[in-house]
Amino acid sequence: MARYIMFQGTGSGVGKSLITAGFCRMFARKGIRVAPFKAQNMSLNSGVTPFGEEIGRAQMLQARAALIDPDSRMNPILLKPQGDCMSQVIVRGKIWETHEAYEYYQYKKFLWEKVVESMNSLAEEYDLICIEGAGSPAEINLREQDIVNMSVARYAQVPVFLIGDIEKGGVFAQLYGTWALMIQEERELLRGFIINKFRGNYAILEPGLKEIEKLTQIPVVGVVPYSRFQLEDEDSMTEKIENSYKLPKTADIQVGIIRLPHISNFTDFDPLTNEPDVEIQYIFPDENLSKFDVIMLPGSKNTTRDLQWLQKFNFQERLESYINNGGVLLGVCGGYQMLGESIIDIDGNEDYQGEMDGLRIIPMKTFFEKEKTLKTLQGCLAKAEHISVKGYEIHQGKGFIQQAYEPLFNLNLGNRIEPEGIVINNQIFGTYLHGLFDDGSFRRYFVNLLRKRKGLGTISAVSPSWQEMVEEELDRLADFLETCLDIERIESLMENF
């Protein structure tokens, strides 16, 4: 019979995802068969499992931390916001329906059945399930609709550890207020507090730790110092986007990434931060483009709405001027579609029905379909077979290029090779492949291409793959948590539950 541990938070962004990932790696290194689980996730960053299922990036990372393949049972319900309180609902890795919040809650019985079915199935295969909550269990207006926090804990009688973020301020009020708003049955499942992102002198904090334990009779099982890890973020409101504005621009190659309102899978660009000669900045479309060596247009969960948003800034004219002055352009997934001649959505799969003009940089028409393309892929650069690439596709539109073209990649599809993407004059690039920069060889090829255009010498050294770096970071995360949390006490609280 599987054991459980659950990490809930006093709010969003307190560190639940990373701490859960750290515990997955920690237990996996002990030889325990561990699997992550998050009943319901709301995120625009998703990934594709080896089974062609779509789940949240956080659970993809946690599965990697657990040294297992991800599957849709680990995140049975995924909500992908599309604007105006509408979300696309992914159930067990496939599109189910699109709903606004009020309608969504009417389907609680069906969704809860999927949650229970998934959790029970994992429990049959693994020794330990590391569960992540969502938001806060103190959202009392949603208690009756909850299928991700205390409903999960009560169903499986799971020991819960509550995480508070001291950097936000008022951490003791966060912890006490959450505890106070729990009903008695829920408090009985609460086994410990974790304070995250601490900076400063521990001695100053200590009186508060004693007081919160006295008030609640719940032990503080650790204080986690503030630290940075190069691991994927779940949400678009991420520090890396905000902080990119504050970094001094000193590297040889400057990358500008358009910060779309519905930006998704911006983790595609994280590996570029591993290159010593590259700096990236998330920018708005009305900023000065000329200072960047390449402009990247990322994926979007609402491609047509983001395209309309870009057009308000006369972005087509601005891009044409940028390209005419020698700038390089890369569009990925939704960004690739926007660069085409038009987008046709007959069924209104997003919130626009009909044909919409694109930015007309690439001779391509995109047709949206109800079924979503979900697959993992690997291959090579079309013009250089020794430069490998690996990633995944996740999109509803299919692009049809209107003239002869040079493909960007050649991808392996069983017993055949399929060209993918487009290259125009070695200056304009488009692709559906997420994760294209994960492999160090293509990443360095692309950066060297930018260096050549700028008159700089190329760099031959290839950085490690992003996945190798992620493995090192997951081990570092597990080591870090072992030093600042009372792991023996946590395990004892689990065992004596």
Rg, the chain, Cα only: 23
First to last CA, the chain: 14
Dist CA 361 CA 342 (whole Å): 10
The set of catalytic residues is 333, 434
The DSSP 8-state label assigned to residue 131 in this structure reads E
128-149 burial, b at 16+ Cβ within 10 Å, e below that, comes to: bbbbbbbbbbbeeebbebbbbb
**Can you point out the beta strands (E) in 219-336?**
220-225, 253-258, 263-264, 278-283, 294-297, 299-300, 328-332
- Extract the tokens encoding 26: 């920690």
Phi, psi of 82 (to 5 degrees): -120, 5
360 Cβ contact list (under 8 Å, min separation 6): 316, 340, 341
Which residue is it, tokens 């900076």?
199
Check: CB of residue 3 under 8 Å from CB of residue 158: no
Pick from 168, 391, 203, 10: nearest CA to 19: 10
Which residue is it, tokens 């609902």?
89
Dist CA 116 CA 112 (whole Å): 6
Which residue is it, tokens 């269990």?
137
Dist CA 402 CA 237 (whole Å): 37
| Environment class of 497 (CB within 10 Å of its CB; exposed 0-12, middle 13-18, buried 19+) | middle
Position 391, amino acid: G
**Can you point out the beta strands (E) in 285-336?**
294-297, 299-300, 328-332
Measure CA 2 to chain center: 28
The H or E element spanning position 341 is none
190-198 vs 220-225, strand pairing mode: parallel
